[in-house]
Amino acid sequence: MRKKIALAGPDITQKEIDYVTDAVKNGWYETYDMHIKKLEKTFTDYVGAKYAIATYCGTHALHLATLALGLKADDEVIVTDQSYIATAQAVSYVGARCVFVDIDPDTLCINPALIEKAVTEKTKAIMLVHFAGMAADMDAIMRLASKYNLKVIEDACQLVGGKYKDRYVGTIGDAGVFSFQGAKIAVGGEGGMFVTNDQELYKRALHYGTFCRNDKISYLWSDDIGYNYRISNVTAALILAQIERIDELIGKKKNIYDWYHKYLSNCKSVKLLKINQECQSNYAYVTGYITDETKISRDELIKKLLELNIHVRPGYPSMSAMPNYERRFDVPFSEKYWKKGLVFPTALNLTEEDIKYVCTEVIKLIEGEHTL
């Protein structure tokens, strides 16, 4: 069998090995958090935010955002219906209610035109996702947030290094969150980042992420229920090396993105999504829909590709359909992406030949015999 065509996977060089080795050898005693501090400084400089907290994972950073913003039971948060479930669960962790709204079918990000209808007197925040390498419509979202006095959390877990217009995503709303989990463009195995320009929000998030310790009384004193959400120095060293190479990693992802668009451009059965104009993408994902008249269903296609060791995945299930959640509004485009959406392999070890092979097999399965 050919090599595994992985859905995702990193690009690791000697630099990552050197940084991790350095952290293992020297990241103790006075320098126990040296790489964490350097990562936070490098990240804030890169995205242009004032404050950052590196966390064990992106979900923890999302939770710090909902905690620090003071969201609580009985509050409502308007959440995009398409995302990895962590987005919604971070709202649920503080007891607030998710009010899901549908996505824009071309960007897969929350449709701002639907947000206004979902606002009630209980609404306190908007939780958007910059989805699959595409940026949400931040101008429209920030306008609504200011009109209704809502806080904005940008879940930028999938868009490390991406911009909306001329600003890095994650720095436009009240808080931004990133992930360095193993399938992301820059990896730490696990890892996350909370960023904000608001000093008070930063202090509160840091407090919650470090057991709500009150150092004024004693470093062993805790004045509220808090969490141990800090990243390890060794993991921070790995992520630091990746962030120092982020523009190179984006370049590699862009090649993969371009190869898919080249080899699938004439395939009528697959509609690949193009990056929206306002977004400078990190090209970390290649996604789209299969069209209605295909020889086999989307799920059969995925099954057959997996048999060939080609790891494709479906769109996320609609979060408002999951247990513990409820649906207040119809979400036809989120459902369409759930039922018809496909995410193609974009692991960083894939070559043009691999991508051509994937596209050839997709076209063969979906349209019958065909060679590129």
Residue whose Cβ sits closest to ligand PLP: 58
Asked whether the CA dihedral 227, 228, 230, 235 is positive or negative, the reply is negative
Residue 41: DSSP 8-state: H
Q: Residue ranges of the alpha helices (H) in 159-223? A: 199-209
Residue 238 in tokens: 């790995």
- The residue among 239 and 363 lying less far from ligand PLP, judged by its C-beta, is 239
Q: Are 110 and 138 in contact (CB under 8 A)?
A: no
Least separation in angstroms between CB 282 and ligand PLP:
13
Residues that bind ligand PLP (CB under 6 A): 57-59, 83-84, 86-87, 129, 155, 157-158, 179, 181, 192
Least separation in angstroms between CB 84 and ligand PLP:
4
Least separation in angstroms between CB 178 and ligand PLP:
8
Least separation in angstroms between CB 37 and ligand PLP:
21
- The residue among 186 and 250 lying less far from ligand PLP, judged by its C-beta, is 186
Kindly report the backbone phi and psi dihedral angles of residue 302, in degrees, each rounded to the nearest multiple of 5, phi listed first. Answer: -60, -45
Taking the CB of residue 275, how many other CB atoms lie within 10 A of it?
A: 18
- The residue among 179 and 287 lying less far from ligand PLP, judged by its C-beta, is 179
Least separation in angstroms between CB 86 and ligand PLP:
4
314-317-322 Cα angle (round to 5): 155
- The residue among 284 and 366 lying less far from ligand PLP, judged by its C-beta, is 284
Residue 101 in tokens: 């709204």
Least separation in angstroms between CB 319 and ligand PLP:
11
- The residue among 8 and 99 lying less far from ligand PLP, judged by its C-beta, is 8
- The residue among 129 and 264 lying less far from ligand PLP, judged by its C-beta, is 129
Taking the CB of residue 200, how many other CB atoms lie within 10 A of it?
A: 9
- Edge to edge, the sheet with strand 163-164 lists 167-168, 163-164, 279-280
In angstroms, the CA 353 to CA 341 distance is 24
- The residue among 133 and 269 lying less far from ligand PLP, judged by its C-beta, is 133
Least separation in angstroms between CB 169 and ligand PLP:
12
Strand 192-196 and strand 51-55: pairing?
Answer: antiparallel
Distance, CA of 227 to chain centre? 22
Least separation in angstroms between CB 14 and ligand PLP:
26
In angstroms, the CA 243 to CA 276 distance is 24
Please compute Rg for the chain using Cα positions.
Answer: 21
- The residue among 57 and 239 lying less far from ligand PLP, judged by its C-beta, is 57
For residue 34, give the amino acid letter: M
